[in-house]
Amino acid sequence: MSFIEKQLDKLWEYLSNPELWLALLAGAFRIVMIVFLAWLVVRVFRKIVDKLFVQRRSGPIRIPKRREDTLTKLIKNVVAYVVYFMAIVMVLQVFNFQIGPLLAGAGVAGLAIGFGAQNLVRDVISGFFIIFEDQFAVGDYISTAGVEGTVDEIGLRTSKIVSWTGELNIVPNGNITQVINYSARNGLAVVDVNVPYESDVAQVEKIIQEVAETLPDKYEFILSVPEVIGVQNLDVSHFVVRVIAETEPVFKWAGERNIRKEIQDKLYKSGVKIPAPRIVTYSEEQVEELTQERLRNRG
């Protein structure tokens, strides 16, 4: 019998061993069960998290909706990472991998990578403090790192911000050093109205005040009657009357647009026109006459 035939006989004897196939079937069954149980645990835990936050809404201790959405997504993601990592470790054990040395080696490698990946560590630490300090939450309208938009998701490493034109911006948390959160407090709409010098200041302020008193009833995001501050500036061809109004968070721009529209419409109907740049031209004869007149006045 040749060498090849001996090897083929050994291979056939190995493959025809019932214990091999029983071990393979048992291993496959364990892997399927591990994957299924991991998926089931993640799904059940997500349901539990949703139920807990729903119950908290009616309890004595409540948290804002924006923070609730942030914590819900974060907890679900962390649980999924932990459960799936444990599932991978259990699958490796099915294949008789020595997990102890593997985890020890991973720890040493992770330490070495940590020194080289300082930006990653900075992103994770920054993400933790963003969530812990409640700097902003899912649904907030913010401006940070050169990006402005609505927060879609906050992770430990990155935050996703959707701009008002629809683009999704993924910003590393380490780059978030300063945040302007427009959703944390009520907004202040500031409107400057340009009025020509021919108009009476008191009459213009009276018209604007009449318009301001009607705005809270027309627009629910304007929380109080706008205040007419008075003449803010004197320009070349007009003076400026400033109006301010408190609005709901993120509605300051909508408030400014609608206040400006209502005031302009009322002023126009009252005969107060919008000032326009003026250019006065003189002919050569008129210039000469004016010059002669000035010389006579000086004499």
How many other C-beta atoms can be found within 10 angstroms of the C-beta atom of residue 285? 8
Fold of the 3-97 domain: Helix Hairpins (1.10.287)
What DSSP letter does each residue of 211-262 carry, written as one string? HHHHHHHH-TTB-SPPEEEEEEEE-SSEEEEEEEEEE-TT-HHHHHHHHHHH
H or E segment at 24?
A: helix 18-57
- Identify the CA nearest to 176 among candidates 159, 163, 162: 159
What size, in residues, is the chain?
299
- Identify the CA nearest to 265 among candidates 226, 227, 208, 221: 208
Q: Which two tokens stand for residue 250?
A: 């993120």
Residue for token pair 């021919």: 198
pTM of the model: 0.61
Residue 35 near residue 89 (C-beta atoms within 8 A): no
Predicted pLDDT at 207: 95
| Whole-angstrom distance, CA of residue 294 vs CA of residue 284 | 15
- For each of the chain's 299 residues, which pLDDT tens digit applies? 566 666 666 666 656 666 766 777 877 888 888 889 988 988 888 888 887 766 655 544 456 666 677 777 777 877 887 888 888 888 877 777 766 666 666 665 565 555 556 777 788 888 888 887 888 988 899 999 999 999 998 887 899 999 989 999 999 999 998 999 999 889 999 999 999 988 999 999 999 999 999 999 999 999 999 999 999 999 888 999 999 999 999 999 999 999 999 999 999 999 988 787 767 677 788 778 878 887 777 75
Predicted pLDDT at 243: 97
Rounded-to-10 torsion of CA 167, 173, 176, 180: 60
Predicted pLDDT at 230: 94
Residue 76 near residue 83 (C-beta atoms within 8 A): no
Predicted pLDDT at 49: 81
Domain boundaries, the chain: 3-97, 187-269
Residue 160 near residue 152 (C-beta atoms within 8 A): yes
- Say which residues have a Cβ less than 8 Å from residue 218's Cβ, sequence separation at least 6: 258, 262
| Whole-angstrom distance, CA of residue 9 vs CA of residue 1 | 10
Q: How far is CA 278 from the centre of its chain?
A: 45
Predicted pLDDT at 193: 95
Predicted pLDDT at 5: 65
Domain 187-269, CATH number (from 3.40.50.720, 3.40.190.10, 3.40.50.12160, 3.30.70.100) = 3.30.70.100
| Whole-angstrom distance, CA of residue 216 vs CA of residue 189 | 13
